Amino acid sequence: MESETARRRRRGAVGPADDVTVRRALVETAERQLADSTDGDIATRAVCEEVGVTQPVLYRLFGDKRGLLDAVADAGFERYARRKQELEVTDDPVADLHAGWADHMAFAAGNPALYQLMFAPRPQSASTAHQRILELLEATLVRCAAAGALRTTPRQAAQLILSANVGVALGRIAQPSLYDDPSLSERARDAVFAAVLTDADTRSGPDPVGAAARQLRYRLSLSGTENLEPAEAALLDRWLERLDQPD
């Protein structure tokens, strides 16, 4: 059992080593209590009592309850990112995009309370989880663009795909009886992917020059080239961007 001295140290939580340990314990406890909550909320007092620290320690480390929840959301992103790293990266980025959609839905189903914290809007939240997940998705879409499989920019496609993915997942979590169609996720995915992805027969689309510029731009972003000086490469990137977005 924990000694009285150790308990007193934790309650005071003084020093960098203590701060790291206590911060991690508070985040893990808050997530666990959030998952067990019936109303999707936690009490800082209950979190502190379980960890064995005073509330001033929590406020010193996180600022307030909102800061603690932001830390829980960001810890959720780290777990999400580890899942993504474990997914196989194939030579077919479009297939990888499909796998990513399915894995996102699985993460939401397996961590409903955490998922809502990460993605449901919270006033004045400073969590970076949503932005960082958008960037992970955009990285896969860069590979799609380099393969000539994207109708628009990776950023625009990522915004549309993630919005749809999150909307379906949150709907299933918050109102499962309303969003009870088992094929809803696949139908939403197919509709969104059709809006942002090309197919083998229409890779060039209505703007073949823009499509070619987009593909070359993102191929270069992945592989680079030794044939251009940095200033020349930057200028080429700007020209290709203009050709891709003439307006």
Is the model's pLDDT at 200 over the cut of 70?
A: no
Residues in the chain: 247
Q: How confident is the model at residue 5 (pLDDT cuts 50, 70, 90)?
A: very low
Instruction: Report phi then psi at 184, rounded to 5.
Output: -60, -45
- Report pLDDT for 17: 53
- Report pLDDT for 130: 85
Give tens-digit pLDDT for 8-23.
445 555 555 588 999 9
- Report pLDDT for 144: 93
CA distances from 181 to 17, 89, 175, 184, 213 (A): 49, 30, 12, 5, 40
Please report, in angstroms and rounded to a whole number, the separation of the first and last CA atoms in the chain. Answer: 68
Residue 83: name the closest of 101, 113, 98, 104 by CA. Answer: 104
- Report pLDDT for 246: 52
Range from 37-46, 184-193, 197-206 carrying the lowest mean pLDDT: 197-206
Q: How confident is the model at residue 229 (pLDDT cuts 50, 70, 90)?
A: confident
HEC-encoded secondary structure of 104-160 = HHHHHHHCHHHHHHHHCCCCCCCCCHHHHHHHHHHHHHHHHHHCCCECCCHHHHHHH
